[in-house]
Structures are given as structure tokens and as C-alpha cells.
A and B are shown apart, each in its own frame.
Chain A
């Protein structure tokens, strides 16, 4: 929760306040929970609302047309085929994970994603919410959710390749 709150407000201290505030709101607002959404998504929705009220970064819709390719266009030839194909890294990642050396890096990469992408990836891939839940929690459309998820995951994939590509 704190991690999510931090992405909406300027400082850690404010985020902590938001989290506390959320719990108070939860206790006061149990009436609002109708059992339709999962407990977690309901809780997170309250959190996001509190954080957005408190935070200085305002909620804005994501310009979907804004081009942010999944892969650097320079890696494709004129025909659109791979000129600089993806380097293998899956086996190297498995070894690093087993050695307990990768989780910290992944956490840092996730934290460094643009805020909107981070929120969606955090909720979908770490908290393992459904896309419907994430849309409800963040008040975004399915299409927006998918674009943010795509960009966030694509960036993470590139970071894995940068870190581990060519390691045998």
C-alpha cells in the first residue's frame, strides 16, 4: 500500500499519512463495501482515492497515441524485421533468481517505471489483480490499462535484457 501511495504523493512521509488515513477511511466506510469487488481491490481503491486527494500529482488520462515503442526502433531494419534481435537472458535470469540476486534489481526497475505504468504493473503482476480490478482501482479504461501494462512490461523486459543479455 505504501508503495502505491508513494507514486501519487511527493514524499514518503505524506504517503505514510495517506496509508494511515486509508485505514481510518476503511474502518469508517465498511458500509461502502458491498462484496462485489474483492477486499483487496476495494481497499486499494480507497487508498488511491485518498492519495489522489492528498497528492499534488493530479489524475490525468494517458495519451494513448503518444508513441512509446516496446522496442527501440533502431533494432529493426527497414522492412520491420529484427536487425538486432533479442539477446537470450531467460536462463541467466533463472540462475540469478535462484541465487537470490535478482529480486532487488527487479524492485528497483519497477520503482523507476513512470508512475502510471508502475501502478498498473504493480497491481497486475505483483498484487495479481485482474484487469477489471485494476481498472476499477485506478479509474482507467481497459484500453488505457492495457497500454500502460504493455509499456511497463516492455520496459522491464528491456531492462532484463540490458542486465543479463549476453551472460552465459
Chain B
């Protein structure tokens, strides 16, 4: 019963706007509970959250193009040499 009341607090349109705050861990505890209670009763928003996670994961597979490992290593080496001088 309590869960149902909590779920009624949040509608899907609001829930999708909280996804990033939720994933970033910046929702205050009551808001997080309300969000999770909504998810527990809403397969569409559960799917939506999974899709946002997948979006982040797939974007994260892109290779940072410009700062190649070689360039980075050279830079680190340069920095370490400078520090030791």
C-alpha cells in the first residue's frame, strides 16, 4: 500500500527526467526511494533506465581519438622528467 502511494507520487514523464540524477547518485534519499518505487511498478521506465545505461556504455566504447596512449605516455614522461629536475 505504501509502495503504491509512493509510486503514484511520480509519473513516467517525471521519472525520465530523474534518470541522470539517479545514475549520478545525486538524488536525496526520499527522491531516490520514490524513483525506485516507481521503477518497481513500471516496466517502461525500467526499460528506459536500462537504455540510458546502455547509451552510456556504448558511448564509452568510442576511443578518445586525439590523446593517443603514445602521446599520453610521452607527456607523462615529460612531466616526470620535469619534476625530477
Question: Residue among A26, A30, A33, A86 with the most chain B CB within 10 A?
Answer: A86
Q: A125 contacts B60, CB within 8 Å?
A: yes
Among candidates B24, B47, B51, B59, residue contacting A146 with C-beta atoms closer than 8 Å: B24
Segment from A48-56, A58-66, A103-111 that makes contact with B? A103-111
Nearest B residue to A1 via CB reads B66
Among candidates B44, B65, B67, B75, residue contacting A82 with C-beta atoms closer than 8 Å: B44
Q: A85 contacts B44, CB within 8 Å?
A: yes
Q: A131 contacts B24, CB within 8 Å?
A: yes
Q: A106 contacts B62, CB within 8 Å?
A: yes
Q: B51 contacts A160, CB within 8 Å?
A: yes
Q: A102 contacts B65, CB within 8 Å?
A: no
Q: A127 contacts B64, CB within 8 Å?
A: yes
Among candidates A90, A97, A149, residue contacting B61 with C-beta atoms closer than 8 Å: A97
A12, B52: Cα distance in complex, Å: 31
In this complex, the interface size class of chain B, counting residues with CB under 8 Å from chain A, is 35 or more
B interface SS class: helix
**Known interface pairs A71-B16, A106-B58; A86-B11 also in contact (CB < 8 Å):** no
Among candidates A1, A146, A157, residue contacting B52 with C-beta atoms closer than 8 Å: A157
Instruction: Give B64 Cβ to nearest chain A Cβ, in Å.
Output: 5
- Taking Cβ atoms with an 8 Å cutoff, the residues of A that contact B are 1-4, 19, 26-27, 30, 33, 39-40, 43, 69-71, 73, 76, 79-82, 85-86, 88-90, 93, 97, 102-103, 106-107, 110, 121, 125-128, 131, 146, 149-150, 153-154, 156-157, 160-161
9 A-B pairs with the lowest CB-CB distances in the bound complex, closest first: A80-B11, A150-B20, A85-B44, A1-B66, A80-B13, A125-B59, A82-B44, A76-B13, A157-B55
- Taking Cβ atoms with an 8 Å cutoff, the residues of B that contact A are 11-14, 16-17, 19-21, 24, 26, 42, 44-45, 47-48, 50-52, 54-56, 58-62, 64-67, 72, 75-76, 78-79, 82
